[in-house]
Structure 1
Amino acid sequence: MRTHPVGHALVVLGLVGAVAAPVVGATAAPSVAASVYLYDVTVAAGGAAKAEELYVDTAGAPVTLNRATVTYDYRDAAAVVRLAAAADPADEDRWESCTAAPGRLTCRLPAGWTLRGEGDALPEVRVAAADGAALHAAGQVTTTLADPAIGTTAVTSRVRVGERADLRAAADPPLSAEVDGGFTRSLGVTNAGRRPVEGVVAVFEGTHHVVDADTDYGNCHYADGVLRYCYFAGPLAPGRTYRTSLPMHVAARAYAPGVQASTVTWLTRAEAEDAIDADSVGEPGDGAPLLLRLDRRAARVAPPAADHADGDRAPNTATAEIDVTGVNGTDVAVSGSTVHARPGDTVDLRVGYAVAGPAALEAPEGLRAVTAVDVTLPLGVTVVEDPDGCSEVGERTWRCYASARYLAVGAGEECAFTVKVNRIVDDGAGEVALVTDDPAVQHRSDDRSENDTAALRVLR
């Protein structure tokens, strides 16, 4: 039900890899093998609770859970943290029920909870420092997921209490760049707390076609040539703002005119240790370090000794929207299908679309999909089952939105309408048609009109 896609070789906070290795054991013969991971957590003494999710990986195999329970056993850390279920009645993907006991929280998932296979996230729990928890206190939480379909699997994670901090990312001015062109992003972070912070980490993510401009900073780590994060030594003085500049590049496959986005999240070192998987840290750069400089003269402060945890992580992130100028469109080719059947048969009518380039498609925030097609079914059939992402918009016509938020050149999607054949109608073909006039999609103008439609036929 709830999933988190992983982007282009970037650290998506709380989503990539597991800090603690899962311990797996099955109480019954499961139909699918599963592993789980819960990130290490540093909470601020006296700070707000942090929302944490348990992630489930079934190696790409979809599975439905009907009797799933999740147990968070934190008896080892009862003096360190307290756990509670996140209560949001508006959230459709919420726990069916949760029961608290000393040092333990047990939650049940609603029957019919579907795991898609990778990056699946279960509902949130809230982790906060226990009343009277000592600074530097640490313990362990063992989280166990059990369901007959996957057996039993568990993971142990570290929890600890750090000193409260307040990091705030500086807002970005408007930015623009041409396709296959460069620009400079100014990055800033303010220590808005009352105490100095001993070092920070900047974690970078964004849309697929905006990256650093082949940088090689010695205090930064890279994966597949893409900047992932940078360490900056402290201390950061209270009330002071620190800045740096990062050269960036819009790739040649970016859609234009369009919008790309670049996000930076500032973490304390303790939080970075929690969020960044040791197995996916990437490679350090070989060049001079990227420097974070005080934007005005400040007195030197002694480094604090405590682990730091931000009491409110929302202001830590700043997203720059880059207006991509020029013209770099793409061709989306649609496909239909032909089936042979007799009256009374149930058949699948397959429809699809693929990106032919030159630009790739990526839906920025605020848009529903990268593209869509209208599917008009042939005469003489009745829908038995329509695909996910499709909704009826007229007589015999469904609008189907792309499910992927990013489609590279050469990539596409396919789905099927299951229909019952009532009669064979000569010259009663249906049609698949590319949609370019829907404000909810990115792709609003196609480079080649000759492949924007395809037929759906049921023949004898």
Structure 2
Amino acid sequence: MRKTAIGCGVAVLALFGGLTAAGPAGAAAAAANEIYLGDATLAPGATSDANALYVNFDSDFLFVQNATVTYDYSKAAGVVGITSDDEDWDSCTAGTGKLNCKLSEWELYDGSDVLPTVALNAPANAKVGASGTVTVTMTDAATGTLTTASRVRVAEAVDLVAGAAQKATAAVNGTFDQKVSVRNGGKKAVTGVVAVFGGTNNVVDDETDYANCNYDADGVAVSCAFDDTLAVGRTYTATIPMLVGAAAMAPGRQRSEITWMTPAEAEDAIDEDDAGEPGEGDPLVLTEAKGVRAGEQADANPDNNTSVTDVTVTGKNGADVAVAGSTATGKVGSTVELELTYTNNGPADLETTDENLAVTAVDVTLPQGTSIVGDPDQGCELLEGSTYRCYAFGALLAVGESEWCAFQVRVDRIVPNGAGRVSLVTDDEFVLHKSDTNAANNSAQLVVKGS
């Protein structure tokens, strides 16, 4: 999602066997113009940051303009307060039991996307067991008026502490063992925990079938539930065999994440449609790490719940990014649109774990005799003259996936043989993809013809 309607965006979403962290329950199934805010379980005095309002719609793209979003928590008095925690809102104004936010421009993609976020704050004196309802209303010309409600409850505070970061090495289609651990860092015993799997697109469990784990339709582990009681200060561990998928870039990096939750938190976080089905084998067992010490429950400190395993992928497995231009026809003085796409033909996915790296980029030189109308997308920057560099939008460009850019240009004059060009960039320090496997399709023309 971005704050402008010009530029690059995801054109075709075709993820292959990937695994991503679970989104809020109820947000998965797209419908025509529908919003959803996930349920939440908070400990007294705790804050849940970055709560996104999901917007489901029946198209690939939706441009929101001058939207008003009202979070009404008057029916959750003493349970929760709501504040803005995202600078992408144009403004948010607090009222009695309400937060009113405005958003002038926002792009939504792929039938289901999110607006800027808010923070949920449980008062320090909130009563354990109390619950309330937050009603959200969104009004925008593109969506009409939409309303949803979510449940917020207060639960006993616990502190689940994930194990330290780890490193592993494996080849494409290779395996490694991932040791996961969780410590009860609180002052009370914890009854039951859930491990939720996440990470990059090509590191998953290695065809496990644990009875206490749920698996998606592709057989990939979504979560594992343990009914153990975790004693105060003690650490519990398990070992899970993991697989680096066939579409992993090599040499490259993958990342596996395990987030520990209480059962109540997992109920809020994992949508019923995405929860998967339980395995049929023996259960995965948590074992107490000897000698290591340090009703519904909620983690009072969720910032330390996730452990990461960084995987160095060895071997050679690259990607062919193919660029395509377009031809537009118009009269002198008219405005036309020039579109370009770039597609990952594989065999490797392009995926970055570094927020400072784009997976790829293209240079766009406008045709002679044209001038850009308005500002380019925030992912595009002017290099010199009429050449712009546009960086990929997403952290993942999977095999079969494309991104597109659209430039609105004014036809100042028709220049024969004055075509512009779009070219793949592989020499930028802020780009992941630095070696393409097929140079023959790395550039294409942008043409304007007179009508």
Which bracket does the TM-score occupy, shorter chain normalised?
0.7 to 0.9
Task: Indicate yes or no: 2:249 matched with 1:255.
Answer: yes
Deviation at 1:427, TM superposition (A): 3.5
Letter in 1 for 2:80: R
Which residue of structure 2 lines up, in the alignment, with residue 45 of structure 1? 44
Instruction: Give me the whole-angstrom Cα distance separating, in 2, the residues matched to 1:381 and 1:9.
Output: 42
Instruction: Give me the whole-angstrom Cα distance separating, in 2, the residues matched to 1:369 and 1:150.
Output: 31
Task: Indicate yes or no: 2:102 matched with 1:93.
Answer: no
Instruction: Give me the whole-angstrom Cα distance separating, in 2, the residues matched to 1:338 and 1:147.
Output: 34
Task: Indicate yes or no: 2:228 matched with 1:234.
Answer: yes
Change (3 A) 1:201 1:113: same
Which residue of structure 1 lines up, in the alignment, with residue 283 of structure 2? 289
Deviation at 1:39, TM superposition (A): 1.9
Which residue of structure 2 lines up, in the alignment, with residue 403 of structure 1? 393
Which residue of structure 2 lines up, in the alignment, with residue 321 of structure 1? 310
* Farther off after superposition, 263-272 or 418-427: 418-427
Letter in 1 for 2:228: G
Could you list the per-position Cα deviations for residues 383-427 of structure 1 after superposition, in whole angstroms to 9, with x for gaps in the alignment? 225652222111121111122322222322222222222233333
Pick the aligned partner of 2:402 from 408, 412, 417: 412
Change (3 A) 1:109 1:454: same
Could you list the per-position Cα deviations for residues 304-352 of structure 1 after superposition, in whole angstroms to 9, with x for gaps in the alignment? xx21111110100112111111111111121223345553343322222
Change (3 A) 1:122 1:416: closer
Task: Decide which structure has the larger Cα Rg and report it.
Answer: 1
Pick the aligned partner of 1:432 from 418, 422, 434: 422
Task: Indicate yes or no: 2:132 matched with 1:139.
Answer: yes
Task: Indicate yes or no: 2:105 matched with 1:107.
Answer: no
Could you list the per-position Cα deviations for residues 233-271 of structure 1 after superposition, in whole angstroms to 9, with x for gaps in the alignment? 120011111111111111111111111111110001121
Matched-pair contact (CA < 8 Å) for 2:34–2:56: yes
Deviation at 1:10, TM superposition (A): 4.6
Change (3 A) 1:114 1:243: same
Which residue of structure 2 lines up, in the alignment, with residue 83 of structure 1? 81
Deviation at 1:432, TM superposition (A): 1.6
Instruction: Give me the whole-angstrom Cα distance separating, in 2, the residues matched to 1:142 and 1:258.
Output: 44
Pick the aligned partner of 1:204 from 170, 176, 197: 197
Task: Indicate yes or no: 2:369 matched with 1:380.
Answer: yes
Instruction: Give me the whole-angstrom Cα distance separating, in 2, the residues matched to 1:333 and 1:67.
Output: 37
* Farther off after superposition, 324-333 or 363-372: 363-372
Deviation at 1:99, TM superposition (A): 2.7
Which residue of structure 2 lines up, in the alignment, with residue 441 of structure 1? 431
Instruction: Give me the whole-angstrom Cα distance separating, in 2, the residues matched to 1:418 and 1:50.
Output: 37
TM-score (norm 1): 0.86
Matched-pair contact (CA < 8 Å) for 1:46–1:164: no
Instruction: Give me the whole-angstrom Cα distance separating, in 1, the residues matched to 2:360 and 2:32.
Output: 34
Deviation at 1:162, TM superposition (A): 1.4
Instruction: Give me the whole-angstrom Cα distance separating, in 1, the residues matched to 2:400 and 2:88.
Output: 33
Instruction: Give me the whole-angstrom Cα distance separating, in 2, the residues matched to 1:373 and 1:112.
Output: 25
Which residue of structure 2 lines up, in the alignment, with residue 120 of structure 1? 114
Within 5 A, what are the aligned runs for 1:15-26?
15-18=24-27
Change (3 A) 1:127 1:51: farther
Instruction: Give me the whole-angstrom Cα distance separating, in 2, the residues matched to 1:203 and 1:13.
Output: 8
Letter in 1 for 2:81: L
Which residue of structure 1 lines up, in the alignment, with residue 326 of structure 2? 337
In percent, how many aligned pairs have the same letter?
45
SS at match of 1:279: helix
Structure 2 unaligned runs (5+)? 4-9
Instruction: Give me the whole-angstrom Cα distance separating, in 2, the residues matched to 1:349 and 1:141.
Output: 44
Change (3 A) 1:57 1:225: same
Matched-pair contact (CA < 8 Å) for 2:265–2:298: yes
Matched-pair contact (CA < 8 Å) for 1:175–1:321: yes
Change (3 A) 1:11 1:207: closer
Instruction: Give me the whole-angstrom Cα distance separating, in 2, the residues matched to 1:314 and 1:9.
Output: 25
Within 5 A, what are the aligned runs for 1:18-37?
18=27, 34-37=33-36
Instruction: Give me the whole-angstrom Cα distance separating, in 1, the residues matched to 2:2 and 2:369.
Output: 37
Which residue of structure 2 lines up, in the alignment, with residue 71 of structure 1? 71
Change (3 A) 1:94 1:459: closer
Letter in 2 for 1:17: G
Task: Indicate yes or no: 2:149 matched with 1:156.
Answer: yes
Instruction: Give me the whole-angstrom Cα distance separating, in 2, the residues matched to 1:410 and 1:45.
Output: 46
Aligned positions, number:
435
Deviation at 1:198, TM superposition (A): 0.4
Which residue of structure 1 lines up, in the alignment, with residue 182 of structure 2? 189
Could you list the per-position Cα deviations for residues 187-215 of structure 1 after superposition, in whole angstroms to 9, with x for gaps in the alignment? 01111111110010000011111111111
SS at match of 2:264: helix
Change (3 A) 1:141 1:322: same
Letter in 2 for 1:431: R
Instruction: Give me the whole-angstrom Cα distance separating, in 1, the residues matched to 2:149 and 2:25.
Output: 17
**RMSD, aligned CA:** 2.8
Matched-pair contact (CA < 8 Å) for 1:359–1:409: yes
Within 5 A, what are the aligned runs for 1:263-278?
263-278=257-272
More strand by share: 2
TM-score (norm 2): 0.88
Letter in 2 for 1:153: L
Matched-pair contact (CA < 8 Å) for 1:188–1:243: yes
Letter in 2 for 1:12: A
